[in-house]
Structure 1
Amino acid sequence: MPQQEEIKHDTDYNDEQVLSDHEIKQRVRKLLHDNMIEGEKGGYNFHYTKPSPETYPFQFFWDTCFHVFTLTALGEHDMAKKHIRSLFKLQKEDGFVGNILYWDRTLPGRITDLFQLKPKAWLHLFKPHMSALVQPPLVAQAVERIYKYSQDTGFLYEMLPKLKCYYGWLIHNRDFEQEGLLSIITPFESGMDWKASYDPVLNFKGKAGPRLFLKVMLIDAYNFFKGYDLRELYRKDRFIVKDAAFNTLFVQNLEALANLCAVVGDKDEEIFRKKAEQCTSSMLKYMYDEEDHAFYDLWGKGKQKLRVKTASIFFPIVLRNIPDEVCNDVLEHHLLSKDGFNVPFPLPSLSTNDAAFNPEESLYIWRGPTWVVFNWFMQQFLLEKGQMQEAQKLLHSVKKLITRSGFREYYNPFTGEGYGARDFTWSGLVLDMIHRQHEAEG
């Protein structure tokens, strides 16, 4: 239990004591450095932060980007650069970067990762390699953040060709209809494993269990035995999903990439801005539901709406080309009114009204518990819209969770109990939230 002087009393929302900002900063710094690893294998130097010491010991794509946001909030810009360089060490000539990079430990750590390699990769399991999957493409924003605080033009020139090649791969390989929307081919690519909005695609209903596990594993096994031939997978259309959160992050990062191009006068700036606009337009056309005031994930070639209210129904409202009236409708009907999301520790990953909702610890995550990343993501939008009090509530909720339960993978939205991996680095995003709040409040 923290000593009394390490805690401050916040009277704006309730009488619960939380760790001071200074104490949070010290604990986040220790968390990241304790989980940090570097070395050399197979002629490659690597340097990254494990999301957690035991559960997630590998370098993960979007986790590395989260670590950059936290490291820059700590002022450790050079360390952030090392993380990004390591992430791109195994980049393919066509631009592809996998969602898991296996460095010193080269064997998959979970049964769910076994089929996430291309068949030929099994011949090279004992040297550094990558998975065959992607994850939400946050890396342009991560590099933009590093440049913002370091003003290191040399690093920008170093990374820009790699970034352009990576986003080019996504555009040419995952925008199957050329309408701007990217598709994922397995639930694990969204970064939100077992997300309930995918249940209709899998012909599953209700609380998660072994039957859901089998259905998801069969998707990954099918992809594996098809050799991750993307055109063939699209033709068969077994799991082609356009995730609202994934595509929101895609748009944000296309804009970040365009901003980086502008810094150095790169002529491709306009290409990425136009692609961001096209994706946003398609999200409005296909994902937004006026009656439900929500953005839904889409399923298959027919772009069928997956009408399940996960926390990602909010995500697209952060985009600058989404009309104000749409943003206000989503905010008023779901986030501010707390329709299905009214819990003591927001934001739950699934509406409490959904039959699949489970706030407890489970193998089947993202089906009810609160994850810090949702609060981190929405706080910036609320600050930009002048919703200072709502933004502060999200920040204060995260502070309470960390004070009560430490740095955990996810939390019970009713009790604040910590679940999943321990010493989990995503919760360190609270430090970036603190910085944002202070900047916005002057």
Structure 2
Amino acid sequence: MTDEELYKKVHEIIYKNMCDGTLDNGMPYHFTKPSPGTYPFQFFWDTCFHVYIFTALGDHEMAKQHLQSLFSRQQDDGFVGHMIYWDTLRPGRITDIFQSKPTLKNLYKSHMTALIQPPLAAQATMRIYEASGDKGFLQEMVPKLKKYYDWIAKNRDFDGDGLITIITPYESGMDWKPTYDVALGMEPAKAGKKLFLKVTGVDFWNFIHNYNYKKIREKGKFLVKDAGFNTIYAQNLKALSLLCNELNDDESSKHYMDLSHKVANSICKVMYDDTDAAFYDVYGHDNKKIKVLTPTIFYPLILNEIDETIEQKVLKTHFFDYNEFNATYPIPSVAKNNASFNPDESLYLWRGPVWIINNWFMHRLLLKKGYPEEAQKLIDSIRQLIDKSGFREYYNPFTGEGHGAKEFTWAGLIIDMLEVQKQETVENTKV
């Protein structure tokens, strides 16, 4: 598929999956379903991914509308849920009921879940501003972003170290990531009914306690500081600082930059294991390291606060290891030599197959760290996967067979990767 054909196909899918309307109370909405059948709702980080895709397509107005729709349901305290149901109230799975607060209104009115997702909104806003130069949009969004990130810092920094705790596996966006097995009292292995009941039990406990964070922290059924989630959080605090600076809000700009540094330094202090050369997720009240290798062990390397010697050590120890993340179609969502690794289709996601966002994230990281050839390989791999299996939710890292949802939008992030690659080429030419 040529670049032109690829852009055309991405355009076709993302517009076909788009929907808009108006609720009975007059509130409009406008979003793109990640997949028309499997995921019919507006998801937080999916919306942010779609912003990158729309800006790569040159449709800045559509990108703005999607982000505006996401934040139109923002609560007075700043909270925005990980999923907005809009006009489709029936959850995708019956257990999803436990992800919203137990109120009668949620049974018959449009609502959000009580969960969060990786907070990519500031970077998404930055992406729109860089592409469009629309300062009016910035003036509209920055106050909302400040309230949102203030809510996260106030309600989810349980230990005062700047790091955000997720209270269910579904908050990381990587639902069945095998590191969470350990936090649930299990050894990582092939997933089954026991794991399903454990995860559902966490959501049910949070539900019957009305998502009371004090009780959730005290009980400690599932308290995880995820390396990927917190890296994204640190990046977005920095992005928010830069956006505030664009509006001459120096006090806020300093506040969010200082908080970004705090989070990054805590990631290095709490999550890095020098012996294993990896940034691990940690869990519980005492931050126990979960020594399971997934792609998020690399995520913190993109932060400026991480020492260069650490960066090189982590990449050389794990990224290029044949037994771990080297595959025909990179990047497996857990190391190949882990007991939980399953490359095939399964109810239990993120336990072996390739998910495009890991390639998307690592592409930027590898370019930044001076690995242009490896970055290009990630683009080439996605091209091959699309050519072979189309736009699917995830792929087998050995055969390239597509699995999960069809007409899935995430593979469209390849065109953002291509835009970044073009920009990198231009910058190198200038030098």
Select the residue among 127, 142, 161 that pairs with 2:143: 161
Asked whether the 8 Å contact 2:325–2:336 carries over to 1, the reply is yes
Select the residue among 264, 269, 273 that pairs with 2:253: 269
Select the residue among 410, 417, 422 that pairs with 1:426: 410
User: How far did residue 339 of structure 1 move?
Assistant: 4.6
Tell me, in whole angstroms, the C-alpha distance in 1 between the residues paired with 2:322 and 2:417: 21
Q: Which moved more, 1:111-120 or 1:311-320?
A: 111-120
Report the secondary structure of 1:438's partner residue: helix
Select the residue among 411, 421, 438 that pairs with 2:395: 411
User: How far did residue 200 of structure 1 move?
Assistant: 1.1
Structure 1 residue runs of 5 or longer lacking an equivalent are 1-18
Match of 1:280 in 2: 264
Backbone CA RMSD of aligned residues: 0.9
Tell me, in whole angstroms, the C-alpha distance in 1 between the residues paired with 2:38 and 2:85: 14
2:208 aligned with 1:225, yes or no? yes
Asked whether the 8 Å contact 2:302–2:368 carries over to 1, the reply is no
Match of 1:4 in 2: none
Distance 1:338 1:315, change over 3 A: farther
Match of 1:43 in 2: 26
Select the residue among 197, 209, 212 that pairs with 1:214: 197
1:295-306 equivalent positions in 2, closer than 5 A: 295-306=279-290
Match of 2:184 in 1: 202
Select the residue among 111, 128, 134 that pairs with 2:110: 128
Match of 2:171 in 1: 189
Tell me, in whole angstroms, the C-alpha distance in 2 between the residues paired with 1:127 and 1:154: 32
User: How far did residue 338 of structure 1 move?
Assistant: 4.3
Tell me, in whole angstroms, the C-alpha distance in 2 between the residues paired with 1:386 and 1:195: 29
1:385-396 equivalent positions in 2, closer than 5 A: 385-396=369-380
Q: Which moved more, 1:123-132 or 1:243-252?
A: 123-132
User: How far did residue 441 of structure 1 move?
Assistant: 2.0
- Percent of matched pairs sharing the same residue: 52
Tell me, in whole angstroms, the C-alpha distance in 2 between the residues paired with 1:356 and 1:341: 14
Match of 2:315 in 1: 331
2:329 aligned with 1:345, yes or no? yes
Select the residue among 332, 335, 348 that pairs with 1:364: 348
Tell me, in whole angstroms, the C-alpha distance in 1 between the residues paired with 2:366 and 2:230: 20
Tell me, in whole angstroms, the C-alpha distance in 2 between the residues paired with 1:37 and 1:131: 20
Tell me, in whole angstroms, the C-alpha distance in 2 between the residues paired with 1:414 and 1:124: 43
Match of 1:245 in 2: 228
Asked whether the 8 Å contact 1:39–1:47 carries over to 2, the reply is yes
Report the secondary structure of 1:180's partner residue: coil
Asked whether the 8 Å contact 2:120–2:233 carries over to 1, the reply is yes
Select the residue among 129, 145, 154 that pairs with 1:172: 154
Tell me, in whole angstroms, the C-alpha distance in 2 between the residues paired with 1:79 and 1:441: 27
TM-score by length of 1: 0.95
Asked whether the 8 Å contact 2:81–2:112 carries over to 1, the reply is yes
Report the secondary structure of 2:183's partner residue: coil
The one-letter amino acid paired with 1:199 is D
2:308 aligned with 1:319, yes or no? no
Select the residue among 62, 76, 93 that pairs with 1:79: 62
2:71 aligned with 1:92, yes or no? no
User: How far did residue 125 of structure 1 move?
Assistant: 2.6
The one-letter amino acid paired with 1:389 is E
Select the residue among 27, 49, 57 that pairs with 1:66: 49
Tell me, in whole angstroms, the C-alpha distance in 2 between the residues paired with 1:222 and 1:411: 33
User: How far did residue 401 of structure 1 move?
Assistant: 0.4
* Count of matched residue positions in the alignment of Structure 1 and Structure 2: 423
Tell me, in whole angstroms, the C-alpha distance in 2 between the residues paired with 1:214 and 1:381: 36
Runs of 4+ more than 4 Å apart: none
Asked whether the 8 Å contact 1:107–1:126 carries over to 2, the reply is no
Report the secondary structure of 1:249's partner residue: helix
The one-letter amino acid paired with 1:260 is L
The one-letter amino acid paired with 1:166 is Y
Match of 2:429 in 1: none
The one-letter amino acid paired with 1:177 is D
The one-letter amino acid paired with 2:312 is N
Match of 1:103 in 2: 86
1:20-31 equivalent positions in 2, closer than 5 A: 20-31=2-13
The one-letter amino acid paired with 2:287 is K
Report the secondary structure of 1:114's partner residue: helix
Distance 1:435 1:338, change over 3 A: farther
Asked whether the 8 Å contact 1:333–1:339 carries over to 2, the reply is no
TM-score by length of 2: 0.97
Tell me, in whole angstroms, the C-alpha distance in 2 between the residues paired with 1:437 and 1:337: 25
Asked whether the 8 Å contact 1:31–1:423 carries over to 2, the reply is yes
The one-letter amino acid paired with 1:195 is K
Asked whether the 8 Å contact 1:59–1:87 carries over to 2, the reply is yes
Match of 1:397 in 2: 381
2:284 aligned with 1:293, yes or no? no
The one-letter amino acid paired with 1:436 is V
User: How far did residue 204 of structure 1 move?
Assistant: 2.0
Tell me, in whole angstroms, the C-alpha distance in 2 between the residues paired with 1:338 and 1:90: 46
User: How far did residue 320 of structure 1 move?
Assistant: 1.1
Asked whether the 8 Å contact 1:369–1:411 carries over to 2, the reply is yes
User: How far did residue 123 of structure 1 move?
Assistant: 2.7
Match of 1:10 in 2: none
